[in-house]
Amino acid sequence: MAKLYFNYSVMNAGKSAHLLLVRHNYIENGDKVLLFTSVKDDRSGVGKVASRIGISAEAVAVSPEDDIFDIAQEMNAETPVTAVLVDEVQFMTPEQVYQMSEIVDSLGLPCLAWGLKNNFQGQLFSPAVETILALADEINLIKTVCHCGKRATMILKYNPDGSIVRNGEVVETGGESRYVSVCRAHWKEGNIGPRARKAVFDAGYGTRVVCQSCETVFPSIYGDPEQAGDCAAKLEGDKISGYFGSTIADACEFHFVRGVPEDAKQGVICDACIRGHLQEGRLLRVSSWFDNDPPRDRVPVSTDVDILEEVAKSVEERA
Ligand SMILES: [Zn+2]
Ligand SMILES: [Zn+2]
């Protein structure tokens, strides 16, 4: 039985790649499919669905006044169609979403729509999205992950300097490089993650972390002037303690066994400098927050244990 599907996702989740793969599978099968997109999406030219992984397809670009049902009916009369695919459904009108349901109910053709569900303000993207959520027979999330590893369900918009945009124009295409998809907690926090922050830093903005010993400058991970990737530890007195961002000193403490050497300066210290002191045998690890952790339960491996599933479970439990 034909159905109306809504495959929704956040940004940069491979939505177009998913659509083009479905289309490819139909065509491989010898089927004819119709592909619609919105004229509002002109990122790779009007009337084209393109994925960042390099594949693309021609599409019928519809304007708000176009009737998708009429177009589909006409094209189906020329050569019978197996399915109707619609990209960027969030840019359609509610009427056009209703017309898509008519393709299913009157023409008996499956209609598969792809689009964003939320905008960066954390609300449903448009009246078209409200309509398709109400009318769709099946709703699927195209999964992707936040920089923390949790499922990304929200979209953060940020300025070139890394500051978060919470208000303003919702319908805007072409600026995808300044959107990042994150989990809800990091959306609330306005945390774009280390990779986006690094890009902001490389563009000449963002918070800098400077190792006091070697004066190397690092991009800040959380906008914190004492926390960067590979530079998130601090020398205070003769002790170095680190936190997330430092590979060597994350959640542990070292101290200088024969006094603080001259090249070690008080304050922020990078992993390269700590590594140097360790190699010279100057540092001793005195404590770690993880030392008191209970030993992890071991999972006995037998033929009926799915190792991947067990690993996924234990990762989920720890998260
Ligand atoms: Zn997250
Ligand atoms: Zn350093």
178 and 215 co-located in one domain: no
Ligand that lies nearest to the alpha carbon of residue 184, given by its number in the listed order: 1
CA–centroid distance, 216 to ligand 2, in Å, is 6
Ligand that lies nearest to the alpha carbon of residue 268, given by its number in the listed order: 2
* Residue 139 pLDDT greater than 90, yes or no: yes
Residue 314 lies in a domain: no
Residue 173 lies in a domain: yes
Is 262 known to be catalytic? no
Local confidence band at 57 (pLDDT 50, 70, 90 cut-offs): very high
Local confidence band at 140 (pLDDT 50, 70, 90 cut-offs): very high
Q: What is the mean pLDDT of residues 279-288?
A: 88
Q: Read off the CATH number of the domain in which 57 is found.
A: 3.40.50.300
CB 29 within 8 A of CB 163: no
* Residue 196 pLDDT greater than 70, yes or no: yes
Q: What is the mean pLDDT of residues 135-153?
A: 95
220 and 91 co-located in one domain: no
Confidence (pLDDT) at 315: 61
CA–centroid distance, 309 to ligand 2, in Å, is 40
Using the Cα atoms of residue 107, residue 108, residue 110 and residue 111 in order, give the sign of their dihedral.
positive
Residue 80 lies in a domain: yes
Per the structure block, which two tokens stand in for 39? 């004229």
Comparing 86-90, 259-263, 298-302, 311-315, which segment has the lowest mean pLDDT?
298-302
> What is the three-class DSSP state of 127?
helix
Confidence (pLDDT) at 302: 46
109 and 176 co-located in one domain: no
The percentage of the chain sitting over the pLDDT mark of 70, rounded to a whole number, equals 87
Confidence (pLDDT) at 242: 92
171 and 251 co-located in one domain: no
Confidence (pLDDT) at 6: 98
What is the C-alpha R_g of the chain? Answer: 26
11 and 104 co-located in one domain: yes
Domain that holds residue 86: 4-141
Confidence (pLDDT) at 313: 67
- The domain boundary, picked from 141, 163, 183, lies at 141
> What is the three-class DSSP state of 22?
helix
74 and 135 co-located in one domain: yes
Residue 95 lies in a domain: yes
108 and 20 co-located in one domain: yes
* Residue 102 pLDDT greater than 60, yes or no: yes
Residue 235 lies in a domain: yes
Per the structure block, which two tokens stand in for 154? 């929200």
Looking at mean pLDDT, say which of 143-157, 197-211, 301-315 comes out highest.
Answer: 143-157
Catalytic residue (choose from 88, 262, 310, 317): 88
Residues around ion ligand 2, judged by CB within 5 A, are 211, 213-214, 270, 273
CA–centroid distance, 145 to ligand 1, in Å, is 8
Q: Please give the Cα distance from 272 to 231 (Å, whole number).
A: 8
Condensed to tens digits (0 to 9), the pLDDT of residues 29-42 reads: 999 999 999 998 77
121 and 248 co-located in one domain: no
State the chain's mean pLDDT as an integer: 88
Q: Which of 153, 156, 163 is nearest to 184 (CA)?
A: 153
279 and 181 co-located in one domain: no
44 and 19 co-located in one domain: yes
27 and 131 co-located in one domain: yes
Domain count, the chain: 3
45 and 71 co-located in one domain: yes
Confidence (pLDDT) at 296: 42
Per the structure block, which two tokens stand in for 265? 């300066």
Number of DSSP helices (H) and strands (E) in the chain, helices first: 8, 18
